[in-house]
Amino acid sequence: MKTGSPAAALISDVSPGPVVAFDNVSKIYGKGDAEVRALNGVNLQINAGEFVAVMGPSGSGKSTSMNIIGCLDKPTSGRYLFKGVDVSTLSSDQTAMLRRHFLGFVFQGFNLLARTTALENLELPLIYQRIDKATRRKMAMEALDVVGLLGREHHTPAELSGGQQQRVAIARAIVTNPSLLLADEPTGNLDTARGHEIMQLLTRLNKERGLTVVLVTHEEDIAAYAGRRIEFRDGKIVRETRT
């Protein structure tokens, strides 16, 4: 149970249900002849502990969906509920708190701070949560252990391989014990072998820690790691499959 923020207080008190729920969500950019309907009446549920791969061609709506799930964008119409809470009812501060306490993000480009060590990169989100120095150091070291990088805590990104950098990024995403991990093309900058190592790590986090994972990918072999695949086209979900 997470406490200490307005969003946390709202979300921790709701009854069990889907982690993510889209209720007839549409997203429109532009007006008139320039209007683009990025999402068109999407209904979607993602339950706790699922590993979901989101696929589709460019412009299909998958990235817009991920941005809404990550509270980086808002629907034009319809509702997005996170653990039963309508995100549109939250203030900007509450939404920021939701991202900080409940969501972890992993990106294709790693997005690590170049001049700071792996340990310092992990401590940063904990500083934002106002966790004391000794506790955040302990939490950061534990997260590095989970991703197999103990002994590399004092290395900067330039001193790490691409696969190791992505492991640091995953450790940073999980160090706050989020309810949901969003991974946007996490293997896109890696060779095949390192990419599969990263997917094996995400699969282990999903199975052993019960972490809910939503992955965007263009690659069939990467999507195969997920237990459920959702395919977008022209702003709609056109296919769902389970493995």
Domain assignment present for residue 142? The answer is yes
| Model pLDDT, residue 14 | 52
pLDDT, one tens digit per residue, over 216-233 is 999 999 999 999 999 999
Distance, in Å, from the CA atom of 46 to the CA atom of 208, rounded to the nearest integer, reads 18
How many domains would you assign to the chain? 1
Domain assignment present for residue 180? The answer is yes
Return the closest-CA partner of residue 36 out of 60, 20, 18: 60
Distance, in Å, from the CA atom of 183 to the CA atom of 216, rounded to the nearest integer, reads 6
Domain assignment present for residue 177? The answer is yes
Domain assignment present for residue 1? The answer is no
> Residue for token digits 């008139």?
32
Residues 6+ apart with CB under 8 A from 196: 187, 221
Distance, in Å, from the CA atom of 171 to the CA atom of 132, rounded to the nearest integer, reads 19
CB distance 87 to 95 below 8 Å: yes
Domain assignment present for residue 190? The answer is yes
Residues in the chain: 243
- Under-50 pLDDT residues of the chain: 1, 3, 13
CB distance 55 to 215 below 8 Å: no
| Residue 102's CATH number | 3.40.50.300
Domain assignment present for residue 178? The answer is yes
Give the global pTM. Answer: 0.91
Extended strands (E) in 88-136: 103-107
Distance of CA 70 to the CA centre of its chain: 7
| Model pLDDT, residue 8 | 57
Distance, in Å, from the CA atom of 131 to the CA atom of 136, rounded to the nearest integer, reads 6
Exposed / middle / buried, residue 5 (Cβ in 10 Å: 0-12, 13-18, 19+): buried
| Model pLDDT, residue 243 | 81
Distance, in Å, from the CA atom of 227 to the CA atom of 243, rounded to the nearest integer, reads 5
Residues 6+ apart with CB under 8 A from 187: 108, 166, 194, 195, 196, 198, 199, 217, 219, 222
Distance of CA 101 to the CA centre of its chain: 12
| Model pLDDT, residue 11 | 67
Work out the number of other CB atoms within 10 angstroms of the CB of residue 2. 17
Domain of 96, in residue numbers: 6-242
